Amino acid sequence: MNYTLLKPFYVLTIIVHFFMATMFLSNNGFAQEFVQGIDVSNFQGTINWKQVKQAGFTFAFAKATEGISYTDIQFDSNWHGMRAEKIIRGAYHYFYADDDATEQAKHFVAVVGLLRKGQDLPPMLDLEDKPKDKKQYIASVTTWLNYVEQALGCKPIIYVDRPFADDHLGNKFNNYPLWIAEYTSASQPNLPDGWTLWSFWQYSDSGKVAGINGVVDMDKFNGS
């Protein structure tokens, strides 16, 4: 499978995302209108994606993998369900600080496979597992990001909350799109050091959405 053929499209996709985010900026540097989405995993069980679409959600991310061997049991169902309802879809990997980064990246790429033009968002790396050694952690995260970008032809998104980023990342990854996690009713999230713009914002972990039993993470995209 030749992933390099996808690179021109996904470079364009990232440019378009940032262009859209910039085009709709207000005077304080943030978009006035946000696109609504969700992110899911096996914790949401079987999802009725048709109802999610009818409820007005434009995009969704599904957990694909974590560590070097775990595959989310609902990923395949979610991945195909989002596509069937023409929900703009993305996949994410939960990163284990002490697992081999290359093996984690290979596992993610193998599970997600070929990304599709006009239907798939860049992959997201979920950074929550606290490292023992900051220097080694930064090197490992860099390895994962570089491998996945080369394999899938697009720059990954980094998901992180502000305290974790400030403690463990510094300003090493501020050239990557930011998915900030901050649960608040405020109009804007607080950004980690080094970032001046967010691309996605997970603003709640207790949303209620038609087609999903229980609660679900609620997200916004900073663009049109």
- pLDDT, tens digit (0-9, with 9 covering 90-100), for 68-122: 999 999 999 999 999 999 999 999 999 999 999 999 999 999 999 989 877 799 9
Our answer to whether residue 128 is catalytic in this structure is yes
Catalytic residue (one of 33, 76, 98, 128): 128
Strand-strand pairing, 70-71 and 59-66: antiparallel
Confidence category of residue 53, pLDDT binned at 50, 70, 90: very high
Our answer to whether residue 103 is catalytic in this structure is no
Q: What is the model's pLDDT at position 10? A: 44
* pLDDT one-digit tens code per residue, 191-218: 999 999 999 999 999 999 999 999 999 9
Q: What is the model's pLDDT at position 22? A: 38
| Helix 101-112 and helix 134-152, axial crossing angle in degrees, nearest 10 | 30
Q: What is the mean pLDDT of the chain?
A: 88
Q: What is the mean pLDDT of residues 35-47?
A: 98
The set of long-range contacts for 53-56, using a CB threshold of 8 Å and a minimum separation of 24, is 53/85, 53/86, 53/87, 54/210, 54/211, 55/209, 55/210, 55/211
Higher-confidence position of 39 and 185: 39
Q: What is the model's pLDDT at position 33? A: 73
Q: What is the model's pLDDT at position 64? A: 98
